[in-house]
Chain A
Amino acid sequence: MPTSDIRSRLRRGLPLYALILPGALFFLLFRYLPMGGILIAFQDFEPFDGFMKSPWVGLDHFVRLFGDPDFWVLFRNTLVLSALNLFIFFPAPIILALLLNEARIRMFRRAVQTITYMPHFLSWVVVVGISVLLFSTQEGAINQLLAANGWGRIELLTDSSYFRPLYVLMNIWKESGWSAIIFLAALASIDPTLYEAAVMDGASRWKTLLHVSLPALRNVIIILFILRLGQTMETGFEQVLLMQNSLNLDVSDVFDTYVYRNGVLTGEYSYTTAVGLFKSVIGLVLIVAANGWAKRKGEEGVY
């Protein structure tokens, strides 16, 4: 039981501080020491001039960002994609893990696990390349099938209305298997007597899933959800850039692709950092809010 005496807690914690120390050193040296680099968001940074000799411009970059006529479109697009990730992608690995947990035939379960985890290792270049082969209007396999049967072709890749669904579906396809691993590990830690008790109570498989398996995932789900909220302004740069084309810009342009054209390709480190800083601040606000709410509900938060 935790003692309220600070000194005895410190003494008791000594071995634990020893465990924490190496990791803490890492964070200090390789995360916090370079963190001052964020300040280049307030400069006109030139790599060759360095931090010392680059001129300071204060909030100019933020003024530029907020003043850009496309700012709200970018913001909206980014938020929509994030919402899709949060509410549609996020449950997919959970469902997959729960289903796998119910598949008792060992070979089948292992095979499915291995196969669904494979696409994670393909780069987005390859995945989008395959999507072009399947979905392009003229030569894509799906459209050729449609045309051969006398139906009209669907412009899956160029029509703006398909961009968002395709985005989240491709993400689910690629990442569900990999993301399910954490949930599988959590399910593996469930005390087997709980299952035995459920059987004895005559609960159906479905009820067992709802009342034994799912609740065991609660902590992990909450932590992951909160962390995801922190990534709200992140939309998966590579995927979006590759899926983006002249005809779907109105929904596919997000902060990451905007800054790619306006900061990365043009070598403007400061502007890139400023936009990144803006994204991070939004993420921080969301995490703090979500964490506070979770704690009030009696859950373990992320800090």
Chain B
Amino acid sequence: MSGSDRTFVAVVYAVLLAATLAVALPFLYVVIVSFATKAEVLSRGFFLVPKTWSLDAYQYLFRERNFLLSFRNSLWITLIGTFVNIALTSMMAYGLSKPWVVGRKTMNMLVLFTMLFNGGIIPTYLVVNQFGLLDSYWSIWLTAAIAPFNLIVMRGFFQSFPSELEEASRIDGCGELYLFRKIVLPLSMPAIATFTLFYLVQNWNTYFNALLYLNDSAKWPLQVFLRQMLIEAADSSMTLEIEGFEFGPPVKMATVVATALPLLIIYPFFQKHFNQGMLLGSVKG
């Protein structure tokens, strides 16, 4: 390895390390607080090692009947929702990526338009109501079916797909749909993985739509249940007092950790798709 390359690599690793530390430390604080006591958190400023470790916050969370119920709901919403999202988005993105499709430009404009202009909460609610979707998970799955941003970027990915492969398949007599399913999709895994992850996170974090469209709190996803914990009720007599247990920052941070943890766990499964290109023919270093 040449001298300039050595410096280059050193700089790369140094910057990445610095970035990681800058990110990790405050995040670590959040996790540590969830394992500390309220008294300590309120009296000390920023700290990384608690004097007293405590599982109180998590015990409080898991004791709530609603916790496991809403966790299960979230899994369901995320599973079906993400499937609907990625299916609709990738199909439409592919369809719009072919320059010879008639009406393509208009459709693209219409999609873009919705990124900027929105009817608002009330009109959307009325439409959902009119279709009889209130109190059903379909209200969530359908109102958020496609994120225009994801659609536009994914379309961009499909547009950059090497045309030689497509031409080769067409010459072999493949139809458009076959081309999509068997050739383009499998080779577009980085894009598909990226947007599946995006939609997964979007679904897992569903809060406001669930609140609005689901009247029955038994259907609520995790975020709604947990966000309630973070409400600094202006009317402090609304904060529950539970004998001997102190509600405060540890519980709040525990809810943050509880929501974020599943997403952190699944990320590595998606990572390999982002790193795919590097597995082929890379030089060690």
Q: Which chain A residues have a beta carbon within 8 Å of chain B's beta carbons? A: 2-3, 6, 9-10, 12-13, 15-20, 22-24, 26-27, 29-38, 40, 47, 96, 99-104, 106, 108-119, 121-123, 125-127, 130, 133-134, 139-141, 144, 173, 176-177, 181-182, 184-193, 195-196, 199, 204-206, 219-220, 223-224, 227, 230, 269, 273, 276-277, 280, 283-284, 287, 300, 302-303
Interface hits, B142-181 → A, CB 8 Å: 142-143, 145-146, 149, 151-153, 156-157, 159-160, 162, 175-177, 180
Say if the beta carbon of B282 comes within 8 Å of chain A: yes
Chain A residues near B194 (CB-CB < 8 A):
181-182, 185
Say if the beta carbon of B45 comes within 8 Å of chain A: yes
CB-based nearest B residue for A272: B120
Say if the beta carbon of B112 comes within 8 Å of chain A: yes
Q: Are B20 and A121 in contact (CB under 8 A)?
A: no
Known: A126-B256, A303-B109. A20 touches B100 (CB 8 A): no
- Which 7 interchain pairs have the tightest Cβ spacing? A37-B123, A23-B92, A34-B119, A37-B119, A303-B108, A2-B100, A34-B123
The listed residue (A20, A113, A173, A219) touching B160 by CB distance below 8 A is A219
Give the most central of A19, A102, A111, A196: most B CB within 10 Å: A19
Chain A residues near B253 (CB-CB < 8 A):
126
Interface size on B, residues (CB 8 A): 103
Interface hits, B171-193 → A, CB 8 Å: 175-177, 180, 188, 190-191, 193
Q: Which chain B residues have a beta carbon within 8 Å of chain A's beta carbons? A: 2, 4-5, 8-9, 12-13, 15-17, 19-20, 22-24, 26-27, 29-30, 45-46, 87-89, 91-92, 94-96, 98-102, 105, 107-120, 122-124, 126-127, 131, 142-143, 145-146, 149, 151-153, 156-157, 159-160, 162, 175-177, 180, 188, 190-191, 193-194, 197-198, 201, 230, 252-253, 256, 259-260, 263-264, 267-268, 271, 273-278, 280-285
Q: Are B152 and A223 in contact (CB under 8 A)?
A: yes
